[in-house]
A and B are shown apart, each in its own frame.
Chain A
């Protein structure tokens, strides 16, 4: 019954989505208020339908209903509850249903929070959202139905790949999807604006919270994914330039560009046409990523089962959704009037520079990801594009972004004084230089690039702090006055401060952990010791262990610092009988100054264990930086300019004007 209910509500959802995709749009054309109002109602009901359907699938996984093909393929009775649930999106069909659930959730949120939007704009946005939902629901129903029955039902399921049975990976896809799908709202707003032929600062303000929310979530999703890879894959790597990782990085880069260019639209009524294009591209890149992953066209560690039929379907969706939006853009972009004028040295120009670099970076990652495929399709030649390519091309493009982000955010709108800004940044410049010289001196001139990277990080962080102290007149007035000024600064400013500093922290983490990593690959027997990162590790031997759905061997490393025992690290080798698969679990001591990372290998013939011990200095700064960056976005999201009441007042005016 569960599967049938799920199936039925999904079919129902398709019908509702078609209604949502057509009637409100027709209403907006004919200026029919009743048809337009249908948008909100249908968006809410659509979400409820899909939610029920998704709930049914979760229920089927929880009760291990193996008469459902998808459950039998991907679950097992002995799996812990968390992984039974996360197993729902650990496979293609279920993850598509989660995708659509989030898509419709966003639609419903526009209906709920968008009371202040002009009626016609809202109707159009919801209609486009409905059309996207309809296409993806039909994709699920026609090519990837999770509710197919299996007869006879097997007694036991085949289980979930054990490397996916992990809390980090349980939450990674939902965040990632909220990010991808969140950009669909921005996309719908962009297309609606093109249909209306008007885009103004009010539009940018409506779009901003959605962009921010999607961007924050995508940031967290990517960070979770790389954190998972770091502790689960067992050799301390955290980013592999894997096609699937790239598929999430590309929308993130373009989304970041969008976030910044939308500010120009909002404050200066300029860059409108470009912002619209970015909004379309961001979601298109999310779709492209989905296509690349789901079609199995790029083989990758992450790929679900390959299926050309699905690939063709998603390709059609890509043409339909992105293609029509781009054609609309080509036809209507000329209607968008150029807005505010500015000089080449101004905040606007700096943000254009930022956009140029971020989109170039995205294009380079896209090129590297697709190149092997293009070459094989056109010439039948095989080539690999690995990390060395990206290090040589992507990093140089990103480096100026780091330097410029401090300067850009200090420039005035319209026309600015670059020399003046650089003068105000004297402290940051000197600190950065000092950092570079100290590191070159301390490492004996070996690591110039490392020194430069750390100098740039110092520059970002100090430069951002300079901005704060200027804004609150630190040291010029009594501290209490400065603090009260700080409280009154807009949240968007604080969001920028946090996110930019977080970028500095991220770069510090990346640089130090990759440059000064210490590694021991050793055969050890009980009693052997190793010193790494100021710790002394003593191998105390191994123990057999039994988990809920696995058995394994646990190595024990006593960790001492200054003669005192701090902790015992317990790396494991697990064997999952149901899935006939094995995993290694690293034993990690995580601190702010670095991670002690231990991996247990095989036992050799003479009873020694092959072990791998790393000290990864400051590696956690990578994820702290990424999470702080997302946190900055959230702070920005709470800016009062985006508050509903103010927007309401504002939109009434807009409505009045539109009428």
Chain B
């Protein structure tokens, strides 16, 4: 039954013809509309994969777009709107995961990986410096080296 459900969501709610924002949804006030678009781009269409509600024609995405615009019209701030949507769907709805305990590794990961790599490189360079006169080439290797050079 679970399979059927997934199939169903896939077929009906997230059909691949993506139409996104409909003209009748667009707000008259261009400033509000711009805010609405920016907000929609950061909210995930829950029934699709990795798509924002701005890009999706799923029913729910459309409802959420309208909701965002309704709330903007009634004067809510961007933060209030995001807070409301998160209170209903959890952090999952945010395409940019917030920094908290569970996403700490995600956000720090890039820095950690880079610094770790940098340390490895520095280590390598230092070792090379110390071992400058490591192992002399054997006769055979010297021959090979000259033959390689000749080829160049």
Contact = CB atoms under 8 A, between A and B. Distances in A.
Contact of A233 (B18, B22, B132, B145): B18
A14 B72 CA distance: 63
B125 A235 contact: no
Contact of A657 (B16, B117, B140): B140
Per DSSP, are chain A's interface residues mostly helix, strand or loop, or mixed? Answer: mixed
Interface string B55-98: 10000000000000000000000000000000000111111110
B23 A610 contact: yes
Given A360-B117, A375-B102, A383-B97, A234 B148 contact: no
Given A360-B110, A367-B109, A388-B42, A299 B49 contact: yes
Contacts of B144: 200, 202, 653-654, 657
A650 B109 CA distance: 45
B4 interface: no
B102 A383 contact: yes
Nearest to A392: B96
A338 interface: yes
A583 interface: yes
A523 B110 contact: no
A342 B127 CA distance: 11
A393 B118 CA distance: 17
Interface stretch (A123-131, A236-244, A417-425, A463-471): A236-244
A133 B107 CA distance: 39
Contacts of A359: 117
A269 B148 CA distance: 11
A34 interface: no
A344 B90 contact: no
Interface string A370-401: 01000100010111111111001110010000
A368 to B, nearest CB: 7
Given A386-B95, A582-B17, A338 B131 contact: yes
B19 interface: yes
Contacts of A241: 50
A359 B21 CA distance: 38
Interface residues of B, number: 54
A341 interface: yes
A397 B110 CA distance: 9
B52 interface: yes
A202 B148 contact: yes
B146 to A, nearest CB: 10
Interface string B113-152: 1100110010011001001101100001001110110011
B50 A384 contact: yes
Interface string A591-630: 0000000010110100000111000000000000000000
Interface string A500-536: 0000000000000000000001110000000000000
Given A299-B49, A383-B97, A657 B143 contact: yes
A442 interface: no
Contact of B103 (A360, A383, A573, A584): A383
Contact of A653 (B118, B124, B147): B147
A453 interface: no
B20 interface: yes
Interface string A5-33: 00000000000000000000000000000
A2 interface: no
Given A342-B128, A657-B140, A243 B114 contact: no
Contact of B118 (A342, A356, A392): A356
Given A338-B131, A338-B134, A341-B128, A383 B92 contact: yes
B95 A387 contact: yes
B117 A356 contact: yes
Contacts of B91: 382-384
Interface string A413-445: 000000000000000000000000000000000
Given A200-B144, A383-B103, A386-B96, A583 B51 contact: no
A581 B15 contact: yes
Interface in A237-293: 237, 240-243, 269
12 contacts: A200-B144, A201-B148, A234-B18, A235-B19, A338-B134, A341-B134, A349-B125, A352-B124, A364-B113, A375-B102, A601-B19, A611-B23
Which 8 A/B pairs are nearest by Cβ-Cβ distance?
A386-B95, A388-B96, A382-B92, A393-B110, A523-B23, A364-B110, A584-B17, A367-B109
Given A301-B50, A363-B113, A384-B97, 14 more contacts: A233-B18, A235-B20, A237-B55, A301-B49, A363-B109, A375-B102, A375-B103, A383-B106, A384-B44, A389-B97, A392-B96, A393-B110, A522-B23, A523-B24
Interface of B: 15-24, 26, 42, 44, 48-52, 55, 90-97, 102-103, 105-107, 109-110, 113-114, 117-118, 121, 124-125, 128, 131-132, 134-135, 140, 143-145, 147-148, 151-152
